Structure 1
Amino acid sequence: MLLSPEKSLFVRGTVPALLLSEAPVHGVLPPVVAPDGAVPWCKGWSLMPLATMCVVDGPGESGVLVQAALAPVVDGTGLGTMADWRADAERAGGAVVLSLARLPEVLDWPYLLGSGTSHGGFVPRLPVG
């Protein structure tokens, strides 16, 4: 299922994150409750970050395709690039994927990881040739 780029946010970091809003996979992803910041692995899911798109593939027919080239990428200094985010995901071996009802205006990680309203977890990156 294709998710419009305005419903996604790529966040750079040592372990990068991909935030999704109104994603069709929300109910399939497990609820995340990690108030200590230790995000659980999202078993059965994989991530394929490409230059123009990012695929989050789940079990069976579950999955979402994000038009990464058109989606916002942020880091601690403001805007980043998709190439930077992809490099972060490669170094980390994947990314934290969180599905939310709506994208936050402020990244409040304790809330996002401890409220029980987020679904997802750490999704390992598939090797890209």
Structure 2
Amino acid sequence: MPLYIPREDAGYLAGAVPVLVLVSTEQIERLPVFRLDAGRPLPCEGWQFLAGLTASVVDGPGDSGIFVEGIARPEEAEERFAWLEAVDRSGGAVVLVVDSHSAVDDWAALADGGKARGGFVPAVQRTD
């Protein structure tokens, strides 16, 4: 059964690889524990990401998945479009599921802690 994440529990971070941070205490079936290889997040095998302006879906194997509520106000659109372009350029995003609204800038600490789930999720190619 897909997990629903409201917009206030979703964060969109820019960088060399865009990051989608989701806050949830729910266990997400089949989403791997967040791990690094030479400082880079490992891919989430069997998962794909459909990023959108008003909603995004992180689709996993079987019935596993995450529905993420998108923007609610027009003034958010410009920043979100920039993030979506970064997802297109990177071919996906790092999806991180954490259990609280805390800093997620130290990937090594997240990986060592073993609480975060996720990794790099390839994007579904959108057609215009």
TM, length-normalised to structure 1? 0.82
CA 47–25 in structure 1, closer or farther in 2 if over 3 Å, else same: farther
Give structure 2 stretches of 5+ with no counterpart. none
How many residues align? The count is 121
Q: Report the Cα distance in structure 2 between the residues aligned to 1:66 and 1:119, rounded to whole angstroms.
A: 16
Match of 2:110 in 1: 112
- Say what the alpha-carbon RMSD is for the aligned residues: 2.2
Selected match of 2:68 from 52, 66, 79: 66
Asked if 2 retains the 8 angstrom alpha-carbon contact of 1:68 and 1:82, the reply is no
* Counterpart residue type for residue 65 of structure 1: F
Q: Percent identity, please.
A: 33
Whichever residue aligns with residue 118 of structure 1, its letter is A
Runs of 4+ in 1 over 4 A off after TM superposition: none
Summarize the alignment of residues 1-129 of structure 1 with structure 2, pairs less than 5 Å apart: 1-22=3-24, 24=26, 26-34=28-36, 36-70=38-72, 81-105=79-103, 107-129=105-127
State the SS of the aligned residue for 2:119.
Answer: strand
Scaled by the length of structure 2, the TM-score of the pair is: 0.83
Aligned letter for 1:44? G
Q: Which amino acid aligns with 2:5?
A: L
SS at the partner of 1:81?
helix
Q: Distance in 2 between matches of 1:20 and 1:67?
A: 11
